[in-house]
Amino acid sequence: MPEPTSPRHELASGWGRALVFTYGVFAVAATGRSAVQLGMEPERAPLAYALSLLAAVLYLVATGCLLLGGRLGWRIAVVAVSIELVGVLTVGTLSYVATDLFPDKTVWSHFGQGYGFLPLVLPFLGIAWLWHTRPATGKADLA
């Protein structure tokens, strides 16, 4: 049975469009920054640069899943955005506490200060949107 096409399942509609756009911009920005950092001086801050690349991958996954929609897209987006939230909170904290691990700025360092703190806000917005668009779990969905 095909998935319902109700607005509840349309992840890229309404405010979801703004999230798709924002995640897409961050995917490009984080990919570019981490690629340059890893390409120019990978030994300077390998952990920080690798985590920046992880952020880029998570932004790409979130963008794709929000566009894909449906139950599978929703589930993968929840995982990606949850990992993103843990990442930005962990790296943000460590970048203040263990400054030797983060000598250069990355997308998540200092809670995304270099990006106007949007990396800190974005996963909260993503989780809120995913909660709002969560698939129904009624008996009709089990058929």
pLDDT at 14: 83
Site of tokens 């993503």? 126
Q: Domain for residue 2, yes or no?
A: no
pLDDT for the residue numbered 138: 53
**53 domain-assigned:** yes
Give mean pLDDT in consecutive 10-residue pieces for the chain, a chain of 143 residues. 49 86 94 92 90 96 92 95 97 94 90 94 96 74 44
Tokens of 38: 């890893």
Q: Could you give the number of structural domains in the chain?
A: 1
Show the domain range for 78: 8-134
C-alpha 131/C-alpha 90 separation (Å) is 23
Domain-embedded: residue 69: yes
- Residue 6 three-state SS: coil
